[in-house]
């Protein structure tokens, strides 16, 4: 009898352990009612972030967050420019499907993450700082507050506005999007943040790069890209160092926001996402700036997600920015439908990443690409040609293996995605003044 009681007690104990284990896992996978803080740092290459292996201390605050969060080592943007990339983040649709490009706005029939959360009684706000995110593009759908008063200003402006809003709303359920324009050109780190640059050639064509206006900076960088302006390796390093200083300043402001979340006592009920919309080229393939290619210096971006209760991890498989919306909804326990992306909390493998680039002058789809994480194809619609790269042996995408029979399957994968798109014809939004502004930033070349 005594032995039977012991067996019963042991069985009960094991059942309780199993229940506790399952409960803890469910809790780790879900954060119902949690806040959402999405910090997007414009133009930030993944390989210039400390947590991604960069040797310079550009991102101490992001690195600290990453140590206790989920870091996706190979996150791929769906577009190499600001508006289509952010719209893909917030709709989980490809650029051709949501129709938002620099000359056209997001249609009201598309549902955004903000709209879903607002319908669930969330307070929603966005503080943005780039011309491509101004109100006329309609990305403010679902946001109670959509503040675009900090166009092309440094991160301090947007951070201050965000902190004021957070102080008023932190006791509510909230979704807060903060867009930090640094490190977008001109590469002008504020005083105290130009800590990596040792260039001292006052006669150089790039000597005063940090003090140029947006228009003059664009002219200089486009000149380098076209070959009209020749620069040395040291001069290129000067520009990269200025860019890194801007990253350091953006990181500082992200750190202020993260610190405030902690001091307000809401870190244990706030999902935090750090991401960038696209990268930046520094002659990796002979060019400068962004929006002009689908190489990984423009598409591979940092993606760090911290969900309260979930353990830290580094995920090597490929992820996409279209996966941010379904991941957030999954973490909140909200069902999602008709999304291109998937929840990264449920996916263990590598996801095929499809991306697009439009010709800003022609307003036509110029290039499409698909990366498996191991191989990548870029197809030029304008030229009718393709390039294929073995990303394992050639991560910098320098050796075209398009004639290799081993990569034939990529054509079909790319074709399958492309043919499945339900294309949205964007509606014209830009006037003459906006066109000139975009031209000054290098987008209407």
Q: Count the Cβ atoms, other than its own, within 10 Å of residue 266.
A: 18
β-bridge pairing 145-147 and 123-127:
parallel
Per-residue model confidence (pLDDT) at position 151: 83
CA distance 101 to 353: 19
Query: Is residue 236 a contact partner of residue 203, using CB atoms and an 8 Å limit?
Result: no
CA distance 424 to 429: 15
Per-residue model confidence (pLDDT) at position 433: 59
Q: Count the Cβ atoms, other than its own, within 10 Å of residue 390.
A: 16
Q: Where are the alpha helices (DSSP H) in 31-112?
A: 60-66, 82-91, 95-98
- Residue 8's contacts (CB-CB under 8 Å, 6 or more residues apart) are none
The rounded radius of gyration (Å) of the Cα atoms in the chain is: 23
Per-residue model confidence (pLDDT) at position 426: 59
Per-residue model confidence (pLDDT) at position 42: 97
Query: Is residue 81 a contact partner of residue 278, using CB atoms and an 8 Å limit?
Result: yes
Per-residue model confidence (pLDDT) at position 436: 64
Per-residue model confidence (pLDDT) at position 13: 44
pLDDT in tens, 13-37: 443 333 333 333 333 458 999 999 9
Q: How many CA atoms lie within 13 A of 6 on its CB side?
A: 3
Question: pTM for this structure?
Answer: 0.90
H or E element that contains 17: helix 2-29
Short-list 376, 419, 424, CA closest to 398:
376
Short-list 68, 106, 81, CA closest to 290:
81
Is omega for the bond preceding 95 within 30 degrees of 0, making it cis? Answer: no
β-bridge pairing 70-76 and 288-289:
unpaired
Those residues of the chain that have pLDDT short of 70 are 1-29, 360-362, 405-408, 425-445
Short-list 367, 325, 225, CA closest to 282:
225
Query: Is residue 90 a contact partner of residue 146, using CB atoms and an 8 Å limit?
Result: no
Cα-Cα-Cα-Cα torsion 362, 364, 366, 369, nearest 10 degrees, comes to 150
Question: Which single residue is written with the structure tokens 């040792």?
Answer: 198
β-bridge pairing 353-359 and 364-371:
antiparallel
Query: Is residue 281 a contact partner of residue 289, using CB atoms and an 8 Å limit?
Result: yes
Per-residue model confidence (pLDDT) at position 439: 57
Number of helices followed by number of strands (H, E) in the chain: 12, 17
Give the three-state DSSP class for 72. Answer: strand
Structure tokens at 135: 């109100």
CA distance 87 to 69: 24
Which contacts (CB < 8 Å, 24+ apart) does range 106-112 have? Answer: 106/137, 106/138, 106/139, 106/141, 107/138, 107/424, 107/426, 107/427, 108/138, 108/141, 110/141, 110/424, 112/139, 112/141, 112/142
Per-residue model confidence (pLDDT) at position 430: 52
Q: Count the Cβ atoms, other than its own, within 10 Å of residue 85.
A: 29
Query: What are the structural domains, with CATH classification, of the chain?
Result: 34-349 (3.40.720.10)
pLDDT in tens, 194-234: 999 999 999 999 999 999 999 999 999 999 999 999 999 99
Per-residue model confidence (pLDDT) at position 153: 80
CA distance 221 to 359: 18
Sign of CA dihedral 424, 429, 432, 437: negative
């Amino acid at each position: 009898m005594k032995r039977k009681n012991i067996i019963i007690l042991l069985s009960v104990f094991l059942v309780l352990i199993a229940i506790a284990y399952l409960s803890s896992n469910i809790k780790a996978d879900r954060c119902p009612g949690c806040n959402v803080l999405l910090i997007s740092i414009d133009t930030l290459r993944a390989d210039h972030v400390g947590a991604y292996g960069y040797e310079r201390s550009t991102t101490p605050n992001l690195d600290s967050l990453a140590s206790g969060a989920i870091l996706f080592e190979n996150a791929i943007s769906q577009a190499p420019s600001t508006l289509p990339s952010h719209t893909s983040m917030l709709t989980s649709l490809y650029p051709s499907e949501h129709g938002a490009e620099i000359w056209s706005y997001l249609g009201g029939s598309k549902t955004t993450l903000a709209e879903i959360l607002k319908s669930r009684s969330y307070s929603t706000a966005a503080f943005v700082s780039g011309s491509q995110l101004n109100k006329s593009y309609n990305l403010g759908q679902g946001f109670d507050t959509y503040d675009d008063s900090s166009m092309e200003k440094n991160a301090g402006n947007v951070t201050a506005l965000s902190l004021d809003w957070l102080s008023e709303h932190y006791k509510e359920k909230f979704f807060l999007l903060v867009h930090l324009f640094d490190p977008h050109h001109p590469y002008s780190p504020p005083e105290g943040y130009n800590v990596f640059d040792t260039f001292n050639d006052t006669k150089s064509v790039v000597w005063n790069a940090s003090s140029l206006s947006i228009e003059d900076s664009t002219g200089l960088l486009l000149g380098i890209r076209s070959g009209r302006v020749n620069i040395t390796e040291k001069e290129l390093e000067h520009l990269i160092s200025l860019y890194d200083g801007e990253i350091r300043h953006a990181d500082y402001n992200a750190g202020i926001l993260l610190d405030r979340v902690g001091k307000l006592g809401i870190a244990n009920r706030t999902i935090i996402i750090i991401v960038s919309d696209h990268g930046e080229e520094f002659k990796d393939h002979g060019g400068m700036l962004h929006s002009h290619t689908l190489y990984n210096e423009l598409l591979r971006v940092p993606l760090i997600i911290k969900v309260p209760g979930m353990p830290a991890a580094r995920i090597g498989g490929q992820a996409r920015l279209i996966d941010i919306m379904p991941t957030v909804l999954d973490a909140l326990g909200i069902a999602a439908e008709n999304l291109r992306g998937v929840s990264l909390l449920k996916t263990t493998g590598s996801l095929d990443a499809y991306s697009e680039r439009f010709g800003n002058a022609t307003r036509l789809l110029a290039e499409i690409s698909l990366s498996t994480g191991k191989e990548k194809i870029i197809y030029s619609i304008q030229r009718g040609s393709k390039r294929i790269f073995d990303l394992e042996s050639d991560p910098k995408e320098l050796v075209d293996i398009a004639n290799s029979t081993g990569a034939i399957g990529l054509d079909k994968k790319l074709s399958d995605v492309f043919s499945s798109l339900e294309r949205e014809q964007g509606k014209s939004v830009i006037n003459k003044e906006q066109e000139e502004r975009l031209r000054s930033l290098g987008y209407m070349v």
